Chains A and B, each alone.
Chain A
Amino acid sequence: MKKRRERIDRGIKARSEDVYALASWREMLYLAGPRLLPAAAFLLLPLFLGAYWQKVMISVAVFALLAISWDMLAQTGMISLGQALFFGMGAYVSGILNVYFGMPPWITIPIATVSGGLLCTLILRPVLRLRGIYFSMVTLIIPLMLVRIIEATKIFGGTEGLSGMTPLPSTLVEIYLVTGVLLGVLFGLRRLMETDYGLVLKGIRDNDRSVTNAGINIYWFKTQALFIASTIGAFAGAFMTHVYMFVGMPVFALDYSILPMAAAVVGGGGTFAGATLGAVILVPMSEALRGIGGLRIVMYGLFLVVFTVAVPEGLFDYIQRKYHQMERWVEIDQ
């Protein structure tokens, strides 16, 4: 007797795109569980972690924010290779405000978030008309250029950078600030992309001529998406400045561009949750592998290749699909 695996969609009785008919606590848990679980994990874990892993968790949240910011651009059809621009801009603005003007973190972080985002948007605005690889190339170059400008002109501390920023009150404050923002951004953007506004943004990615033909100025909408994405990245930078109590040329380093993109690819783009999941996997792994020195990069590369080949849809989409399916073995004749 042969057997084959049968997959059944484990649906709630009436489930469509945005309408749920909930009949029991079990169904509610089925829906809310996957949303509550990561939120609870982010909020409770810091209380049980040691000092070292608390720092790792901050790093996870920061890279998750950068990966979400990357995903936001990707969903609007812009592939960025320069998340470091957003990160670095936020970091320098809050550092400058704190060191030169003596503003406290609770003022510098919000100002740096918004003005950093605005600055990045203004810088990239002229290249929004470029499509595909040309846009990516420009985003890759700009942060590298800024590093050289700082080096050559010796502004803002030059190669030394600025140090001695006011720290945040405690590590727990740091963690809860950044994870709070992360959860807000994650669920907020997921909701935003489900609205008609989000549909227009995704439309630009899929077929920008068709959106133009609907009488919509795609450059204005791309600018808005760019502002949202760069603001998120600038927050991450502004926050990290006060955690490290230092800002310098490394904030424009390639790491801040590549790791977020890798996280979004491993976790799967288009959902924000995938980008977050990717950061949750990659950042601690990269910490754990620190011991093996140079081989870390090799392991890291292998891991990326394995994931992109084995789960090209991204880990999150894979898990989501499995969550909504039941499998069972059924006997077949012949």
Chain B
Amino acid sequence: MLRVESVSKIFGRVAAVDRLSCEVRSGELVGIIGPNGSGKTTLVNLISGFIKPTSGRILYNGQDITHTAPHKIVGMGISRTFQMVRPFYQLPAYKNMIIPLYSPRVRELAGGRYGDRNAVALDLLEEVGFERDANVAYKPAGTLPQGYLKRLELAKAIALSPQLLILDELFSGMSLAEVASVVPVIEKLRMAGKTIIMIEHRLKELFRIADRIMVLNYGRKIADGAAAEVMESDEVKKAYLGSEE
């Protein structure tokens, strides 16, 4: 479904992503892990088109999207969340959902006309755990704790009905209980046949749901496979714990 072919991104003299190739098959849940600065978020930015690679190609469903504008990539069915959430702080949480619901993709999928965006927004927020009777969805986004903001970010991505969903450190800043409440949402998306890429630092929670783990270090892929075998690899251990040289 998604194919990254020898992609590099060089910032100044540093290769943030270095001749990286990988593939994500339809319906898979792939976890991407790696130490800080290993190029995970840069990879997400490359796939979603926010930055353009120095070299290499990115194919989505066989189509070259390397130089496609980011809003068009969303229109093709890839949506992502941001690691740093920056909602519209003065607006109530549900009003934050209006902008993705205004997207041409949503209108197209709904067959032209779209009804009451507010109602759809509230439904989506309830799905990710905004309790309806507690009125959290009506509070200004600026007053919500991090866990809710992360889930708002997830709801905004889901609102676009993506085929491929990329979650950039969704779990960071969430409590254990909040993670536990979001995992079923992710599992439900998989049931619906969505392909998911998760960048995570919370390895325990990730390993429980991921089919496959990819490990990045210094912009290169150093391991790829099932969680248990990846963590056994010497190179991965070295990347995480440092080497003794």
Residues of chain A whose beta carbon lies under 8 Å from any beta carbon of chain B? 17, 196-197, 199-200, 202-203, 206-207, 209-218
Contact = CB atoms under 8 A, between A and B. Distances in A.
Contact of B105 (A206, A211, A215): A215
B80 A200 contact: no
Contacts of B70: 212-213
A199 B103 contact: no
A68 to B, nearest CB: 22
Contact of B99 (A17, A211, A217): A211
B139 interface: no
Contacts of B104: 215-216
Interface of B: 48, 50, 69-71, 74-75, 79-80, 82, 86-88, 91-92, 95, 98-106, 117, 156, 160
A207 B100 contact: no
A213 to B, nearest CB: 7
A160 to B, nearest CB: 47
A213 B80 contact: yes
A313 B191 CA distance: 50
A215 B95 contact: no
A210 B141 CA distance: 14
Given A196-B98, A199-B99, A215 B71 contact: yes
A136 to B, nearest CB: 23
A116 to B, nearest CB: 29
B88 A215 contact: no
A19 to B, nearest CB: 11
B76 to A, nearest CB: 9
B79 A213 contact: yes
Contacts of A216: 71, 99, 102-104
Contacts of A197: 102
B202 to A, nearest CB: 23
A196 B156 CA distance: 15
Nearest to A211: B99
A203 B99 contact: yes
Given A213-B80, A214-B100, 16 more contacts: A196-B98, A197-B102, A200-B99, A200-B102, A202-B88, A203-B99, A210-B87, A212-B71, A213-B82, A213-B156, A214-B103, A214-B156, A215-B75, A216-B102, A217-B69, A217-B71
A207 B86 contact: yes
B95 A213 contact: no
B48 A213 contact: yes
A210 B99 contact: yes
Contact of B100 (A206, A209, A215): A215
A254 B34 CA distance: 55
B74 A215 contact: yes
Contacts of A196: 98, 101-102, 117
A60 B117 CA distance: 39
A197 B48 CA distance: 24
Contact of B50 (A17, A199, A209): A209
A315 to B, nearest CB: 20
Contact of B160 (A202, A215, A217): A215
Contacts of A200: 98-99, 102
B103 to A, nearest CB: 4
A258 to B, nearest CB: 29
Contacts of B92: 17
- Report, nearest first, the 3 A-B pairs whose CB atoms are least far apart: A215-B74, A215-B103, A214-B100
B98 A199 contact: yes
14 contacts: A196-B117, A199-B91, A200-B99, A202-B88, A203-B88, A203-B99, A210-B82, A212-B74, A213-B70, A214-B99, A214-B100, A215-B75, A215-B100, A215-B160
A249 B103 CA distance: 43
B167 to A, nearest CB: 13
A215 B88 CA distance: 17
B95 A214 contact: no
A212 B103 CA distance: 9
Given A200-B102, A207-B88, A214 B160 contact: yes
Contacts of A215: 71, 74-75, 79, 100, 103-106, 160
Nearest to B103: A215
Nearest to A221: B102
A217 B49 CA distance: 13
Nearest to B117: A196
Contacts of A199: 91, 95, 98-99, 102
Contacts of B75: 215
Contacts of B86: 207, 210
A212 B99 CA distance: 10
Nearest to B81: A213
A197 B98 CA distance: 9
B223 to A, nearest CB: 29
A22 to B, nearest CB: 22
Nearest to A18: B118
Nearest to B91: A199
Given A196-B98, A200-B102, A214 B88 contact: no
